[in-house]
Amino acid sequence: MAWMVASANGAAGIDAVFERFCAGELDVLDAVERAAWVVEDDPEDHSVGAGGVPNLFGAVELDASIMDGVTLRAGAVAGLRGFRHPISVARAVMERTPHVLLVGEGAATFARVIGAEPAVLETQASLQAWQRAIASLEAQELRDPLTMVRALTHDPERAVGTVNFLALDDEGRMASAVSTSGWALKWPGRAGDSPVIGAGNYCDATVGAAACTGFGELSLRTQLAARCVDLLAAGADPSEAASRAIGLLRRLDAPSSERIMHIVVLRADGQHGAASTRAGTRYAWRDTSVPRAVLAPRVVVALDGPA
């Protein structure tokens, strides 16, 4: 058996790699990395890789991380500009440096040194979306950049989008990958949860893996992916672990427009589940019993109730 789980926008990525993963042509790390390539290359996905909506000053900045659940090795990049596959740069950080996280210009220098493929990530559509957003703020007389970034990133319709992949093979090896262009119109240099191991991504093959999408500041403040895996270790099933992890956000001081979180979970025995603060959202999974990725509902967790 083999299993992959993803955020719903990762269904095509799962299907692109699953057969080779099952055949042993791709190991767990290859599977999550190459599945992420599919979404990073999709200009219609405005939250990951090429076509991601730019930051406040018009540049696309990418965050990504990958984790090997057997060794607990991890690699990540944040605020990376100008490369096609941030997930592969993250993997190279893990495999070719003594570091875990490289940021900004240092990450770009590393990407150049290893020969990562450069790419223009800003597309006509994403630049137009950026220009429209800036023009609408200017029309409201909002010109100070700090005021602008608050107004823009507090719009939940603009701020969301990331892809998560979790994989498990028949020998119990696990890996996880997360890739994103982060909050649309974020402050330049802002790193979200996706490149922070424990916050947006965590994988321990003895227990399971979890990854987040949503307002990364919430998962950064709570180390949410790692805490979700801790809940699995304590005996919760995957949906319950995802729901209870999201429930941990109730005590955070955050406006209701920012209380958005989604988690996908894959346990070391192949059981999986997902939860979200929003009704109607789904996640993708595939194992050898189905011919293509299945989209399944996430458990909905209301965050408005008492802590």
Which residues here bind ligand ASP, judged by CB under 6 A? Answer: 160-162, 180, 182-183, 192-194, 200, 213-216
How does 53-85 read in b/e, with b if 16+ C-beta sit within 10 Å? bbbbeeebbbbbbbbbbbeebbbbbbbbbbbbb
State how far the Cα of 92 lies from the Cα of 75, in Å rounded to an integer. 7
Query: Rounded to whole angstroms, how far apart are CA atoms 166 and 52?
Result: 22
Residue 242: CB minimum distance to ligand ASP, A: 15
Beta carbons of 15 and 293 less than 8 angstroms apart: yes
Q: Say whether 124 sits in a helix, a strand or coil.
A: helix
| Shortest separation between residue 261's beta carbon and ligand ASP, angstroms | 9
Q: Measured from the CB of residue 192, what is the shortest distance to ligand ASP in angstroms? A: 3
Q: How far is the CB of 147 from ligand ASP (least distance, A)?
A: 20
Provide the minimum distance between the beta carbon of 260 and ligand ASP in the complex, in angstroms, as a whole number. 8
The C-alpha atoms of residue 129 and residue 55 are separated, in whole angstroms, by 11
Contact 296, 4 (CB under 8 A): no
Say how many residues make up the chain.
307
Residue whose CB is less far from ligand ASP, 150 or 292: 150
Are the beta carbons of 196 and 224 closer than 8 angstroms?
Answer: no
Task: Closer to ligand ASP by CB, 185 or 205: give it.
Answer: 185
Secondary structure letter of residue 154 according to DSSP:
T
Closest to ligand ASP by CB, 173 vs 282, is: 282
Q: Which helix (H) or strand (E) holds 295?
A: strand 294-297
Separation of alpha carbons 40 and 302, rounded Å: 31
User: What radius of gyration do the chain's Cα atoms show?
Assistant: 18
Q: Which residues are catalytic?
A: 162
Residue ranges with strand state E in 69-187: 73-80, 101-103, 163-168, 174-180
Residue closer to ligand ASP (CB basis): 89 or 160:
160
Residue 289 beta carbon to ligand ASP: minimum distance, rounded to whole angstroms = 29
154 or 173: CB nearest ligand ASP? 154
Q: Please state, in angstroms and rounded to a whole number, the distance separating the CA atoms of residues 71 and 25.
A: 21
For ligand ASP, the closer of residues 162 and 277 by Cβ is: 162
